[in-house]
Amino acid sequence: GAVVSQHPSWVICKSGTSVKIECRSLDFQATTMFWYRQFPKQSLMLMATSNEGSKATYEQGVEKDKFLINHASLTLSTLTVTSAHPEDSSFYICSATRPGVGDTQYFGPGTRLTVL
Amino acid sequence: RKEVEQDPGPFNVPEGATVAFNCTYSNSASQSFFWYRQDCRKEPKLLMSVYSSGNEDGRFTAQLNRASQYISLLIRDSKLSDSATYLCVVNIRGRALTFGSGTRLQVQP
């Protein structure tokens, strides 16, 4: 069964609004979660590393003030796309490393964001 | 140069064919290697890990050559359900995964 969930699975919003995406590890504690973005026909690109209890680490070119990440508990990380614009429309996927299972990362089902 | 390079394909093969995908990675510090499968508009799912000794899982065989920084995936007796994008993935412990752009496979009846 799924070990990482995401909510919502899809969202359509107007330009200028903010959208929050939740990522949960279902039966394990994840001190680190990762947020990726995938544009059509492109590979997954890491946006940021979400660390429980501390600030997220953003990849070069990702605006930390636009993509707010909060990892408030060991099972939940949230990504908020602030003042979304059409170019932010993408597939956002989180992942978490399950302790005791080597380096295998488990992915959430993804959130498809469409900004009109 | 991309960290992980793959031929984007598409590879169009008939059912029952054998198909091989290759991948190269640039970071010699990479420690773990995987093949993931991604269906259209879905999240990637782990297909198999890749070890230097080579490993097999049913119709799928993966191989790693650390000296050449090269990874391969062989699919035998292709099924229609194998149609997907196959992502070559490398990892340095503690860091996020680095994905190749994927190789698209289309198995035709």
Backbone angles phi, psi at B104, to 5 degrees: -90, 130
CB B48 within 8 A of CB B87: no
CB A101 within 8 A of CB A29: no
Q: How far is B15 from chain A (nearest CA, A)?
A: 24
How many CA atoms lie within 13 Å of B92's alpha carbon, on the beta-carbon side?
9
For B25-72, write each residue's pLDDT tens digit.
999 888 889 999 999 888 899 899 998 888 999 999 999 999 999 999
- Tokens representing residue A110 in the block: 């993804």
Cα–Cα distance measured from residue A97 to residue B64, given in angstroms and rounded to the nearest whole number: 22
Place B107 in a pLDDT band, splitting at 50, 70 and 90.
very high
**Residue A68 has what DSSP assignment?**
E
Beta strands A90-97 and A105-107 are antiparallel
Q: Which of B34, B43, B46 sits opposite A110 (nearest CB)?
A: B43
CB B33 within 8 A of CB B50: yes
Contact A102 B32 (CB under 8 A): yes
Asked if B47 reaches chain A (Cβ–Cβ under 8 Å), the answer is no
- What's the per-residue H, E or C state across B21-37? EEEEECCCCCCEEEEEE
Q: Which of A43, A108, A110 sits opposite B101 (nearest CB)?
A: A43
- Tokens representing residue B51 in the block: 């070890």
User: How does the average pLDDT of chain A come out, rounded?
Assistant: 90
SS3 label, residue A110 = coil
Is the pLDDT score of B14 beyond 90? yes
